[in-house]
Amino acid sequence: MHFAVTSLTAAEEALRAEVREFLAAELPAGSRPALGFAGRHAPEFSRKLAARGWVGMAIPPEYGGHGRSAVDRFVVAEELLAAGAPIGAHFVADRQTGPTLLQFGTEEQRRRFLPGIAAGEIYFSLGMSEPDSGSDLASVRTRATRVEGGWRVTGTKVWTSEAHRNHWFAVLCRTSPPEEGSKHAGLSQLIVDLHADGVRVSPIPYLDGSHHFNEVALEDVFVPDEMVLGELGSGWQQVTSELAYERSGPDRWLSTFPLLREWLREGPGRDAGKHATDDEAVVLGRLASRYRAIRQMSLSVARALDAGEAPAVEAALVKEIGTRFEQEVVEALRAAVETELDAGSASLFEALLAEAVLTAPSYTLRGGTNEILRGVAAKGLGR
């Protein structure tokens, strides 16, 4: 395991300045920031961002993207997340589906989906969890049966974020029975149209009352052969590699940053015409110093990816500590203000704090629980 310290080049800093300028113009002062990548679904914003070349950055120009480095993507992502920009519409397609299609997809699939992803117009959900399959993903029961020209898929996916707004989802399912000694064999990923016949999307109300989660029931849904993602039977390897390299970005440690900023604006600092008390200063200093160090870890992984390395253990460590830290920020600020929470508070900070308390448990669950991550990381440490 190794995290090399790295700095941003002049070109990377210039990119940051451009994004900051764009955000200053697009996000009016005083508007409510989104908390994290899943915070707000805003197709219009996604398209504007795409018009600047900041969606599909990992996608090569031949597929409508921009062929930018992992560090460039890091810089754009951290600016968007720190500002609380509404990136929920395109973010999963951009972070996860695009790179997966590039790595495993057919030429036809790339031509069909990547330009739309890069334009901020095609949105994907992830079809992994099921009612009886969470961390033990290989136990999925959704099944695809061979038919003329494709597959018939039946099963139920749950916790499917934004399935009611997105266009497609990548479904992990069984295309042949598990083999003796390997439950990972016989799994495949299929790209399923969320509006196809036999797909039923129903809301699962989220803890804060919003509509975010869905149950997606698939009943004999026809999926043509050309929508098999990657190799038949390689679904397990594909989803695990997909999870491994997309673990360490700013979306894993910045979700609650806007909360800290709004606290500073309303509470202990110059904006409110106050001086921080000792306790307030300690909270602010601690969170800031840890943000800086975690950011450096996360940036180091991006740099390693650009160098062609495979920092899977490092990425797991970043997500593990980053998501726990996102939660710590919430509790540290709650302890600092001593108030009774009300989501309808007239104070932007308090309203955000209420939202954060209600959504924070998801940070250490989504994309692989911290218990699973610790297992991955600990095995890597022992090697």
Partner 1 sequence: MSDDRSMLVEVATGLFGDLCTPEDVVAAEGSGWSARLWDALAESGFPYVSVPEEAGGSGGDVADACALLAVAGRFAAPVPLAEAGLLGGWALGAAGLELPEGPLSVAVGRPDDTVSLTGGPGSWSLSARVHRVPWGGRAERVVLLAPSGGSTYVVSAPTSSASVTPGRNLADEPRDTLTWDGGALPDDAVAEAPPGVHADALRLRGALARAALISGALARVSDLTVRYTGERHQFGRPVARFQAVQAHLVTIAEEAQLAQLAVQVAAGNARPDPSFADVASAKAVASEAATTAARHSHQAHGAIGMTKEYELGQLSRRLWSWRDEFGSERWWNRELGRRLAEAGADELWPRISTGLVTA
Residues marked active site are found at 246
Tokens of 44: 């219009």
The piece of 95-103, 126-134, 154-162, 269-277 that touches partner 1 (CB under 8 A) is 269-277
The region, left, alpha or beta by phi > 0 then psi within -120 to 50, assigned to residue 25 is alpha
The span from the first CA to the last CA of the chain, in angstroms, equals 9
- Residue 374 interacts with partner 1 (CB under 8 A): yes or no: yes
- Residue 275 interacts with partner 1 (CB under 8 A): yes or no: yes
Nearer to partner 1 (CB atom), residue 1 or residue 335: 1
Q: Distance between CA atoms of 289 and 235, rounded to whole angstroms?
A: 40
- Residue 269 interacts with partner 1 (CB under 8 A): yes or no: yes
Q: How far is the CB of 120 from partner 1 (least distance, A)?
A: 24
Contact with partner 1 (CB under 8 A) among 76, 128, 221, 284: 284
Residues 300-319 within binding reach of partner 1 (CB under 8 A): 300, 317
What are 195-199's contacts with CB under 8 Å, separation 24+?
Answer: 195/167, 196/221, 196/222, 196/223, 197/221, 197/222, 198/222
Nearer to partner 1 (CB atom), residue 10 or residue 346: 10
Q: Distance between CA atoms of 271 and 264, rounded to whole angstroms?
A: 8
Contact with partner 1 (CB under 8 A) among 89, 260, 348, 354: 260
- Residue 353 interacts with partner 1 (CB under 8 A): yes or no: no
| Residue 215, strand partner residues | 202
Q: Distance between CA atoms of 73 and 248, rounded to whole angstroms?
A: 12
| Non-local CB neighbours of 58 within 8 Å, separated by 6+ positions | 65, 67, 68, 70, 73, 94, 98, 99, 102
Contact with partner 1 (CB under 8 A) among 138, 170, 243, 377: 377
- Residue 283 interacts with partner 1 (CB under 8 A): yes or no: yes
Name the 3-class secondary structure at 275. coil
Name the 3-class secondary structure at 336. helix
| Residue 203, strand partner residues | 214
Q: How far is the CB of 4 from partner 1 (least distance, A)?
A: 8
Contact with partner 1 (CB under 8 A) among 15, 38, 158, 294: 294
Q: Distance between CA atoms of 320 and 284, rounded to whole angstroms?
A: 22
**Residues 239-258, mask of contacts with partner 1 (x by CB under 8 A):** ------------------x-
Q: How far is the CB of 322 from partner 1 (least distance, A)?
A: 9
Contact with partner 1 (CB under 8 A) among 233, 265, 328, 334: 265
- Residue 282 interacts with partner 1 (CB under 8 A): yes or no: yes
Q: Distance between CA atoms of 170 and 190, rounded to whole angstroms?
A: 6
Q: How far is the CB of 237 from partner 1 (least distance, A)?
A: 23
Q: Distance between CA atoms of 183 and 163, rounded to whole angstroms?
A: 28
Measured CA distances, 267 to 12, 81, 146, 213, 282 (Å) = 33, 22, 61, 33, 14
Tokens of 234: 């390689």
Residues 81-120 within binding reach of partner 1 (CB under 8 A): 82-83
Nearer to partner 1 (CB atom), residue 3 or residue 206: 3
- Residue 203 interacts with partner 1 (CB under 8 A): yes or no: no
Contact with partner 1 (CB under 8 A) among 204, 293, 310, 335: 293
**Residues 14-33, mask of contacts with partner 1 (x by CB under 8 A):** --x-----------------
Tokens of 62: 């031949």
- Residue 261 interacts with partner 1 (CB under 8 A): yes or no: yes
Contact with partner 1 (CB under 8 A) among 139, 182, 296, 339: 296
- Residue 321 interacts with partner 1 (CB under 8 A): yes or no: yes
- Residue 337 interacts with partner 1 (CB under 8 A): yes or no: no
The region, left, alpha or beta by phi > 0 then psi within -120 to 50, assigned to residue 325 is alpha
Residues forming contacts to partner 1 in the complex (CB under 8 A) are: 1, 3, 5-10, 16, 78, 82-83, 257, 260-262, 264-265, 268-271, 274-276, 278, 280-286, 288-297, 299-300, 317, 320-321, 371, 373-375, 377-378, 381-382
